[in-house]
């Protein structure tokens, strides 16, 4: 099968890993890169051997024949760019978070549905190797029916040093990391029946929250799930950007802990195995768990675009995660939990 041709919008920091992840799948070819700052597009194109560079997305879409477009730009541009691409009947791959508000996210999904084009969201967190293994073990029933779960992404990583603009966001960690962590919760436990959240600001020089705790009841078993997110926690086992998960079942305990070790404890004892992420030469070794998950996520999209299967993180699916994020903020405003049934 011929490789799918695609164009990338945006040549910022994450584009280098998004582009490398696409090329690693072996099923695509990037034919053009566009960025308002042409020099950035030229730098990224030279890095990956992309032949065409643009600073105007409409000009690029007029001149290039592509099978899909990847939007790797800031959140406030997603609506206009999605409408531009879908209006030309081209499949859209969009960076997370999908939109700045729930109504905006709903409008993006609706527009693509009306246009009859696929909309995929680059939600790669659930594609981490250890998380996929954890899910398989949970679904096997080895620890029985889960009654309580916890997802922990807490560290003291100096995120504001690398991305100082994050200091000015009115809504920070719940919107940014929450799009990953709440999606992971849905992946592991199913859809939410209720949600309640509390936010805190520990760094005094930022506008938004850098700590968030979300509690939900989820899935057929109405499992109590607590999601903890923080960029202000000094912890002994801090291994940014790893995510830890813990599940209590009526027959045992399942833990995804530091350094990708999964421990399963039942009446028979404890079984432990390490599930390290794949490593790629283009990936930053310190971020291999995240960068390798991009390849798995993109491989899923390629198969869907080739008609070989269904994509997991479609726009319609991601809308459920977005609803949880914005409902969580609403519970913080009102102090009242939201129930869905």
My answer on whether 332 and 204 are in the same domain is: yes
Task: Name the token pair of 153.
Answer: 């992404």
At residue 162, does pLDDT exceed 80?
A: no
My answer on whether 200 and 226 are in the same domain is: yes
pLDDT confidence of residue 218: 98
My answer on whether 167 and 254 are in the same domain is: yes
My answer on whether 68 and 146 are in the same domain is: no
At residue 195, does pLDDT exceed 90?
A: yes
At residue 163, does pLDDT exceed 90?
A: no
pLDDT confidence of residue 53: 98
My answer on whether 33 and 152 are in the same domain is: no
My answer on whether 324 and 192 are in the same domain is: yes
Residue 146 to residue 265: CA distance in whole angstroms: 13
pLDDT confidence of residue 235: 85
Does the residue 297 lie in any domain?
A: no
Task: Name the token pair of 111.
Answer: 């527009």
Residue 130 to residue 258: CA distance in whole angstroms: 11
Residue 69 to residue 81: CA distance in whole angstroms: 10
**Contact yes or no for 21/127 (Cβ under 8 A):** no
- Please report, for residues 117, 304, 307, the alpha-carbon distance to residue 87 in angstroms, rounded to integers and kept in the order given: 9, 20, 22
Does the residue 8 lie in any domain?
A: yes
At residue 292, does pLDDT exceed 90?
A: yes
Q: What CATH number is attached to the domain comprising 181?
A: 3.30.360.10
Q: What CATH number is attached to the domain comprising 31?
A: 3.40.50.720
pLDDT confidence of residue 196: 98
- Please report, for residues 196, 198, 208, 266, the alpha-carbon distance to residue 230 in angstroms, rounded to integers and kept in the order given: 17, 12, 12, 31
- State the pLDDT confidence band at 125, using cuts at 50, 70 and 90: very high
My answer on whether 236 and 147 are in the same domain is: yes
Does the residue 310 lie in any domain?
A: no
Phi–psi pair at 95, nearest 5 degrees: -70, 155
Listed range (28-42, 204-218, 235-249, 308-322) with the worst mean pLDDT: 235-249
pLDDT confidence of residue 279: 94
My answer on whether 148 and 32 are in the same domain is: no
Share of the chain above pLDDT 90, in %: 94
Helix residue ranges per DSSP H, the chain: 15-25, 38-48, 57-63, 78-86, 102-115, 129-139, 159-162, 173-176, 178-189, 288-305, 315-334
My answer on whether 31 and 90 are in the same domain is: yes
| Coil, helix or strand at residue 254 | strand
For 330, half-sphere exposure in the C-beta direction (CA atoms, 13 angstrom radius) is: 13
Among 122, 144, 171, the domain-final residue is: 122
My answer on whether 172 and 263 are in the same domain is: yes
Average pLDDT score over residue span 60-82: 96
Does the residue 312 lie in any domain?
A: no
Between residues 162 and 189, the one the model is more confident about: 189
At residue 307, does pLDDT exceed 90?
A: yes
Q: What is the pLDDT of residues 235-289, one digit of tens each?
A: 887 789 999 999 999 999 999 999 999 999 999 999 999 999 999 999 999 899 9
Among candidate residues 98, 112, 97, 251, the one with its CA nearest the CA of residue 174:
97
Phi–psi pair at 82, nearest 5 degrees: -60, -45
pLDDT confidence of residue 232: 96
Query: Which residues, other chains included, contact 47 with Cβ-Cβ below 8 Å and sequence gap of 6+?
Result: 16
Does the residue 291 lie in any domain?
A: no
Average pLDDT score over residue span 76-90: 97
- Please report, for residues 22, 176, 324, 326, the alpha-carbon distance to residue 302 in angstroms, rounded to integers and kept in the order given: 9, 25, 27, 30
Does the residue 306 lie in any domain?
A: no
**Contact yes or no for 73/18 (Cβ under 8 A):** no
Average pLDDT score over residue span 147-161: 95
My answer on whether 154 and 40 are in the same domain is: no
Among 105, 122, 139, the domain-final residue is: 122
Does the residue 241 lie in any domain?
A: yes
Mean pLDDT, all residues of the chain: 96
My answer on whether 137 and 23 are in the same domain is: no
Among 122, 154, 184, the domain-final residue is: 122
pLDDT confidence of residue 240: 93
**Contact yes or no for 28/5 (Cβ under 8 A):** yes
Q: What is the pLDDT of residues 164-175, one digit of tens each?
A: 888 999 999 999
Listed range (90-99, 108-117, 161-170, 180-189) with the worst mean pLDDT: 161-170
- State the pLDDT confidence band at 104, using cuts at 50, 70 and 90: very high
- Give the chain's domain count: 2
| Secondary structure (DSSP) of 140-201 | TTTT-SEEEEEEEEE----HHHH-GGGGG-SS-HHHHTHHHHHHHHHHHH-SEEEEEEEEE-
At residue 1, does pLDDT exceed 80?
A: no
Average pLDDT score over residue span 310-327: 97
**Contact yes or no for 212/179 (Cβ under 8 A):** no
Average pLDDT score over residue span 87-108: 96
Does the residue 35 lie in any domain?
A: yes
Determine the structural domain holding residue 328 and report its residue range. Answer: 126-284+320-339
pLDDT confidence of residue 336: 98
pTM for the predicted model, two decimal places? 0.95
Q: In this structure, are strands 223-230 and 146-154 parallel, antiparallel, or unpaired?
A: parallel
- Please report, for residues 54, 208, 246, 263, 294, the alpha-carbon distance to residue 150 in angstroms, rounded to integers and kept in the order given: 45, 24, 5, 15, 24
């Amino acid at each position: 099968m011929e490789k799918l041709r695609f164009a990338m919008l945006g040549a910022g920091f994450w584009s280098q890993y998004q582009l490398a992840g696409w090329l690693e799948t072996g099923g695509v070819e990037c034919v053009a890169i566009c960025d308002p700052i042409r020099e950035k597009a030229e730098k990224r194109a030279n890095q990956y051997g992309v032949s065409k560079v643009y600073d105007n997305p409409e000009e690029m879409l007029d001149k290039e024949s592509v099978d899909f477009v990847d939007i790797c730009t800031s959140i406030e541009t997603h609506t206009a760019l999605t409408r531009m691409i879908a209006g030309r009947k081209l499949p859209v791959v969009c960076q997370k978070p999908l939109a700045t508000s729930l109504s905006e996210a709903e409008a993006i999904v609706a527009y693509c549905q009306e246009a009859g084009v696929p909309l995929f969201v680059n939600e790669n967190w659930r594609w981490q190797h250890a998380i996929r293994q954890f899910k398989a073990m949970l679904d096997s029933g080895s620890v029985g029916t889960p009654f309580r779960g916890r997802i922990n992404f807490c560290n003291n990583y100096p995120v504001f040093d690398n991305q100082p603009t994050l200091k000015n966001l009115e809504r920070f960690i719940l919107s940014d990391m929450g799009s990953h962590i709440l999606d992971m919760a849905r992946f592991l436990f199913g859809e939410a029946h209720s949600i309640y959240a509390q936010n805190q600001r520990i760094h005094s020089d930022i506008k938004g929250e850098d700590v968030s705790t979300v509690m939900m009841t989820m899935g057929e078993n109405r499992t109590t799930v607590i999601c903890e997110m923080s960029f202000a926690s000094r912890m002994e086992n801090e291994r940014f950007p790893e995510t830890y998960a813990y599940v209590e079942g009526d027959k045992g305990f399942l833990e995804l802990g530091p350094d990708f070790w999964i421990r399963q404890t039942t009446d028979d004892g404890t079984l432990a195995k390490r599930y390290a992420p794949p490593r790629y030469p283009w990936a930053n070794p310190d971020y291999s768990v995240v960068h390798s998950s991009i390849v798995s996520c993109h491989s899923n999209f390629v198969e869907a675009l080739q008609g070989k299967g269904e994509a997991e993180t479609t726009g319609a699916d991601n809308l459920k995660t977005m609803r949880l994020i914005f409902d969580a903020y609403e519970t913080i405003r009102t102090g009242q939990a939201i129930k869905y049934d």
